[in-house]
Amino acid sequence: MRLKTESIIPRVFKAPRESFFLFGPRGTGKSTWLRATMKDAIWIDLLEPDIFRYYSARPERLRELVLANKDKRIVVVDEVQKVPDLLSVIHGLIERKGGWQFILTGSSSRKLKRSGVDLLAGRVLKHTLHPFMAVEIGKKFNLKSALKYGMLPLVMAASEPEEVLRAYAALYVREEVQMEGLVRNISGFSRFLETISFSHGAVLNVSNVARDCEIERKVVEGYIGILEDLLLSFRLPVFTKRAKRATANHPKFYYFDTGVFRSLRLTGPLDRPEEIEGSALEGLVAQHLVSWNAYRGEKNKIYYWRTRSGVEVDLIVYGEEVFWAIEVKSTSRVRKEDLDSLRAFKEDFPQCNAFLLYRGKERLLRDEILCVPCEEFLRKLNPQTKLME
């Protein structure tokens, strides 16, 4: 599933009319999308060394630039976290009520949190651009390729996607973690990235991760926080609303993109390919649901369900719009036992819509559980259209 770099894939994300932050990991296409949709904007790219030095020395030059170009109403500051002092200037310009729209991109909110992002709270919206969704790719979406390489625009446009994925983690360690001084022990952090990949799509036990990568538990907790601040991972809590059974306590962990997970997950003779494929498939569904929910305005929350006795449903989507229980199976046929956990959940929560997503071709209804080919579900998951039921 290689996409031509010269073709711009329309995104389902719609820019608001107000000023906003547009966060997202490297390679999600923030700059590409903005250059295609905001062609008449004043553009400040802080990844360019000379531009970075220029505004680092005198952030107030931004005010001079904006006031001198009154015919330009949109101002894009790319990678704004590189010069956080620009936020004070932007705040002053917003207070002037001059009708400007500021679009501030970044791959990390961590440095902004330390440097005054709260200064703009309530005045600038926060949005995130995620990896591609299947609906954005359209007919070119291929489930097998997505499970291997993920959905990052940077990777999908590459002639050698495996090489780009191998370099992706190193890019972040070098440019985001090391240069920003987020961690002292770079080798330990690199080891952690690999170790925690074994927790992708699984219940996260921080103590086990700390032991496996030979790092203190408190340090590992900090590393996980860094991953989340850099938007490279997310955790799902246990669904406990009106619980009728004792539930687990620990969250589940996911890397933000299946391809990044596959690039970090080392394999050997003791690994079962179907186990890795199952984790990748569940992660692909989870990242689609996270994107779908974000683009719909975070109207729902995403959980998983697990009882103390070990009965688990992979994904629960609950909110003002839907109540979904979703089990993901990397199998081509539906077995009776594949539905057991969904049956148990529906016993406790008969109001939910239960789905089994699998690798088969047929759409089936068994025991009020809709069994849907996973590729069909992902293709139809569209933030801009009516909800699936």
> pLDDT of 105-163, one tens digit each?
988 776 676 665 555 766 788 999 999 999 999 999 999 999 999 999 999 999 999 99
Residues 6+ apart with CB under 8 A from 258: 146, 147, 150, 151, 280, 283, 284, 287
Number of C-beta neighbours around residue 154 at 10 A:
21
In CATH, what is the architecture of 20-128?
A: 3-Layer(aba) Sandwich (3.40)
Across 320-384, the runs of DSSP E, i.e. the strands, are 323-328, 353-358, 364-366, 369-373
Please report the pLDDT score of residue 274 as a whole number: 80
Please report the pLDDT score of residue 218 as a whole number: 95
| Mean confidence (pLDDT) of the chain | 90
SS3 114: helix
> Cβ(217)–Cβ(200) under 8 Å?
no
Q: Is the pLDDT of residue 176 over 80?
A: no
pLDDT tens readout for residues 336-353 = 999 999 999 999 999 999
Residue 5 — very low, low, confident or very high, per pLDDT cuts 50/70/90? very low
Better pLDDT: 176 or 150? 150
Please report the pLDDT score of residue 6 as a whole number: 43
pLDDT tens readout for residues 213-269 = 999 999 999 999 989 988 999 999 999 998 788 888 899 999 999 999 999 987 766
Q: Is the pLDDT of residue 50 over 80?
A: yes
Angle (nearest 5°) at CA 204 between 381 and 320 = 35
Please report the pLDDT score of residue 108 as a whole number: 73
Please report the pLDDT score of residue 382 as a whole number: 95
Q: Is the pLDDT of residue 7 over 70?
A: no
124-128, 263-267, 288-292, 319-323, range with the lowest pLDDT = 263-267
Query: What average pLDDT does range 22-38 have in this prediction?
Result: 93
Residue 206 — very low, low, confident or very high, per pLDDT cuts 50/70/90? very high
Please report the pLDDT score of residue 111 as a whole number: 66
Percent of the chain with pLDDT over 90: 73
Q: How far apart are CA 248 and CA 238, in angstroms?
A: 7
Q: Is the pLDDT of residue 389 over 60?
A: no
Query: What average pLDDT does range 274-285 have in this prediction?
Result: 94
Q: Is the pLDDT of residue 202 over 50?
A: yes
- Domain ranges, ordered by start, for the chain: 20-128, 134-380
Q: How far apart are CA 77 and CA 87, in angstroms?
A: 10
